[in-house]
């Protein structure tokens, strides 16, 4: 499923983010940029040790929640990995929606600075961080579509959703945005 915003394509796919033919993959990182499980573990495993070595060297202080940093992609087929730190869900009363939107915006800003025409995002914060998938779909798709309408780039943004449930939640929100 896909839609167009500001002349850019916003696409939903179900699959493995490390296999996407894009210029940059966004990693759902923790604030220490220390590696972890889920999407982060899969990206770290596929990229090889060079990714963590560069991340440690360039960002020894980590990255605050709601922000992002960029590195080369190690052994991945893309050129860059953007490490975005989403919020831990605490009921939605501690600024989680704004922090999640910010992580997406900062990632897109970095992608543009790195001349990336295509970017693949996971559903940031929906795994171990407990962000409800339906709310994450609203907040993340809203932030990305607003960015694309304003900036007119990157040309393609993919949300790569691991399972049918996440895909369904994101598809419902995108359908509503296109109606």
Q: Which of 23, 40, 56, 146 is catalytic?
A: 40
Find how far residue 51's CA is from the centre of its chain: 17
How many Cα atoms occupy the beta-carbon half-sphere of 174 within 13 Å? 22
134 is catalytic: no
Maximum pairwise Cα distance, the chain: 46
Rounded-to-integer distance, Cα 62 and Cα 85, Å: 10
The token pair at 69 is: 């940093």
**What positions carry a catalytic annotation?**
40
């Amino acid at each position: 499923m896909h839609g167009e915003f500001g002349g850019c394509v916003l696409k939903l796919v179900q699959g493995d983010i490390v296999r996407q033919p894009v210029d940059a993959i966004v990693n759902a990182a923790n604030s220490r940029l220390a590696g972890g499980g889920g999407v982060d573990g899969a990206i770290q495993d596929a990229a090889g040790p060079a990714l963590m070595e560069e991340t440690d060297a360039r960002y020894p202080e980590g990255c605050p929640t709601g922000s992002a940093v960029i590195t080369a992609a190690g052994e991945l087929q893309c050129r860059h990995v953007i490490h975005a730190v989403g919020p831990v869900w605490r009921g939605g009363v501690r600024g989680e929606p704004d922090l999640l939107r910010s992580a997406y915006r900062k990632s897109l800003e970095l992608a543009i600075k790195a001349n990336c025409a295509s970017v693949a995002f996971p559903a940031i914060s929906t795994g171990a961080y407990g962000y409800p998938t339906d709310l994450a779909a609203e907040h993340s798709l809203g932030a990305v579509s607003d960015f694309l309408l304003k900036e007119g780039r990157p040309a393609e943004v993919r949300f790569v959703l691991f399972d049918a449930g996440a895909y369904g939640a994101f598809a419902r929100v995108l359908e509503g945005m296109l109606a």
